[in-house]
Amino acid sequence: MAQNNVQYQNYDWAQEHMDEAEVCLLATIQVNSQLPEKEQHRYQELWHKCEYGTLTEIELAEYQTLVNKLDTRNLKRLEAIIALAELRGKTIDEIIAEVGVKEKISVT
């Protein structure tokens, strides 16, 4: 009987920590879904100027910095999606559908 209680306590502990891990991964996915609001807005402005070929050299440098930041965030988000898929025993596509992540993970 004491053995069973220990097993249940270990199971409860594991469940509690798995939930914390999932919460952490979901937060990572959310936080890294885009740049902070001000930077995201500026990125979109510069992206449009880049599409029209009207970026100045200074704007191009700023745009490249924002693209690098966004790439880093996308990588963190993708790593969290993969970890969550492994944790839940699901495919990446299933996790993307469950958490409402944009299917296209890109800088545009």
User: What is the per-residue pLDDT across 68-98, written as a single tens digit (0 to 9) for each?
Assistant: 999 999 999 999 999 999 999 999 999 999 8
User: Total structural domains in the chain?
Assistant: 1
- Determine the structural domain holding residue 67 and report its residue range: 2-99
Residue 105 lies in a domain: no
- The pair of three-digit structure tokens given for residue 91, joined into one six-digit string: 């495919």
**For residues 20-39, average pLDDT:** 93
Does residue 62 form part of some domain? yes
- The model's pLDDT over 38-70, given as tens digits with 9 standing for 90+, comes to 999 999 999 999 999 999 999 999 999 999 999
Whether residue 106 is contained in a domain is answered as no
59: in domain: yes
pTM above 0.85, yes or no: no
Residue spans of alpha helices (H) in 1-108: 2-31, 37-51, 57-88, 92-99
